[in-house]
Structure 1
Amino acid sequence: MWHLLPPSALLLLISSVTKADPSKAVVLLDPPWVRVLTDDNVTLTCQGAYPPENNNTRWFHNGTHIVGSQAPSYLISGIKVENSGKYQCQTDLSPLSDSVQLQVHADWLVLQTSKWVFQKGESIRLRCHSWKNKRLYKVTYLQNGKPKKFFHNNSEFHIPEATVNHTGSYYCRGLIGHNNKSSGIVAITFQGPSIAPLFPLWQQIAFCLMMGLLFAVDTGLYFFVRRDLRRSMVHKEEYNFKWSQAQDK
Structure 2
Amino acid sequence: MAGKVALLLWGAQTTQLLVEPPWTPPVLWDRVTLTCQGSGTAGAITWYKDGQRWWEEGPDQFRVTESGTYQCDRPGTGRSPPVNVSNDRLVLQVPARALLEGDTVTLRCRGWQDKPVTWVSFYREEKQLQRFRDGTELSLSPLRLHHSGRYRCRGGVHSEVSGRWKESESAPVSVTVRGVPLSGVSVSVQPPGAQVALGDRLVLSCAVATGTGPLSFSWHRGDSWALLGTGPHLELRHVGDNDSGHYQCRASNGDSVAESVPLNVTVLVPVANATISPGALAQPVSTGDPVTLRCSVQVGSAPVTFTWLRNGTEVARGPLLELGDVHVGHSGTYQCLATNQLGQDGHRVFRALSPELALTVTPRRHWDTAVAAGVAGSLLFLVLLVGVIVGWHWWNRLASRKHQERAPPEPLAPPEDGEVLYTHVTRTKRTQGPTRPAPPQDTQVTYAELPGPHG
Which TM-score applies when normalising by structure 2? 0.30
Point out the structure with the larger strand share: 2
Point out the structure with the larger helix share: 1
Which TM-score applies when normalising by structure 1? 0.50
**Larger CA Rg, structure 1 vs 2:** 2
